[in-house]
Amino acid sequence: MGKPTGFLEHQRRPIPDRHPLERIKDWGEIHEDFQESKLREQGSRCMDCGTPYCHTGMTLSNMASGCPINNLIPEWNDLVYSGKWKDALERLHKTNNFPEFTGRVCPAPCEGSCVLGVIEPPVTIKSIECAIIDKGFQEGWVTPSPPLKRSNKKVAVVGSGPAGLAAADQLNKAGHSVTVYERADRIGGLLMYGIPNMKLDKKYIHRRVDLLQEEGIEFIVSTEIGKDLPAKKLVEDFDAVVLCCGATKPRDLPVEGRELNGVHFAMEFLTINTQGLLELKDVTSFETAAKNKDVVVIGGGDTGTDCVGTSVRHGCNTVTQLEIMPRPPDERAPDNPWPEWPKVYKMDYGQEEAKEVFGSDPRNYLTATKKFIGDDAGNLRAIQIHDIEWKQENGRFSPIEVSGSVREIPAQVAFLAMGFLGPEDLIAEELGLERDTRSNVQAEYGKFSTNMPGVFAAGDMRRGQSLVVWAINEGRAVARECDEFLMGETSLP
């Protein structure tokens, strides 16, 4: 602990964002540059606690608490304060393969469990993490480091999201020949097409993928396993197969009018938007582009926020976000104590932007969709909604329609952002893999082996929809188990 009084002398100052009315004019990242001296001040606020809950990842009340990959947070906070950036980068890379991703898109459960956060705003852990890796690349400290020798074992990794990339990176470090298969036209999975450019600039993904290629990993894109190439072929041709295909089956909304033109899953919108940005430089080419339209986003999570921010940049006429849950309190409720993730009201970047443009938070809480209403040509023109209240019946809470609350709001486009149900069925059915009650591939955490020898599953495909940092946790862990399967022992962390 370099400065015992740091948390007394300096207030929390995360990396600042550009003003909403400026950043909605482009697709660049929303953050501004931050002076190194300010970052060192923020590092000094870390108290080097006797029990640092920030890096002790666990699950409390079904939510992440602390860092799931056990980042050595107090250590690199102190090193940043001391100006030892290269040493901080070394500590960061010991536990995190891709801090440039988590430093941008992770919701930071580490900050939610920061001990300082009990009485003061927590340490800006996420900002410092992002600054460390960005400085590492800027100074040329991050360079290709291929393994010194190869094992003559071949591993196929299916899926190039954070779990797949972490598994591939670790297995390559162990000396195995790794081939990553991706059905999309670019590597990155959710990172590439599920997260908009203003939250995670794609240049950072390209930079990391280029580095992994230089270290010896082979990437094959536009190849869907189970369709373009049989999954059984991988089992035959490789010594082991690691499945990290994600939980990409979206939750639908089967109400009247669902078939109307203009009602789309959120990922369709976000994916083609990013493709347009990368290829065409014309992001309004998507047929449901939001320009001059009344947009309704159904779902209050991160994906819904991304749809709001994207629609604002398209130049939508209005944007409304429907959230079935109640508005969170401004401060922690008594049943949400530290170090649980704080379920408190906040506005993410998309809501901030919508408020600046339209005058208010676009979220409508305790609101559900009754039906989609179309015009004579089969196009969406409005949505019928109603208020709900949660009532307990037979031990379970259910949303009940509030009498007399039905009303109609204009909408020419609606995006369904209500989460995901689990992995798609193609590979699991072809290989006869066992599934759990939520349709995820059955593989015990810590072992990750499926009922087919030599086939492992990790990430959202195994645990269900979760955080990027949990995907990295599982990618690293499945690599360790796969390495031991191949070699009889492992030195991977």
What is the reported pLDDT for 282? 53
Give pLDDT tens digits for 9-57: 999 999 899 999 999 999 999 999 888 999 999 999 998 888 899 988 8
pLDDT for the residue numbered 437:
94
CA nearest to 271, candidates 217, 197, 207: 197
Domain with CATH 3.50.50.60 in the chain: 154-249+421-487, 252-418
Fold of domain 6-138: Fumarate Reductase Iron-sulfur Protein; Chain B, domain 2 (1.10.1060)
CB 369 within 8 A of CB 416: no
Helix pair 125-138, 36-44: axis angle to 10 deg: 140
Residue-wise pLDDT tens digits, 77-93: 999 999 999 999 999 99
d(CA 285, CA 1): 53
What is residue 413's three-state secondary structure? strand
Structure tokens at 478: 């499945």
The two tokens of residue 489 are: 């022992």
The token pair that represents 43 in the structure block: 């590092």
The backbone torsions φ and ψ at residue 362, rounded to the nearest 5 degrees and listed phi first, read -75, -5
pLDDT value for 281:
59
Can you name the CATH fold of 252-418? FAD/NAD(P)-binding domain (3.50.50)
pLDDT value at position 285? 55
3-state helix, strand, coil in the chain (%, to 5): 35, 20, 45
CATH 1.10.1060.10 residue ranges in the chain? 6-138
Does the global pTM surpass 0.75? yes
Q: Which of 114, 110, 81 is nearest to 96 (CA)?
A: 110
- Residues β-bridged to residue 218: 179
Residues with pLDDT less than 50, the chain? none
- CATH: 1.20.210.10, 3.40.640.10, 3.50.50.60, 3.40.50.10300. Which one for 154-249+421-487? 3.50.50.60
Q: Report pLDDT for 322.
A: 98
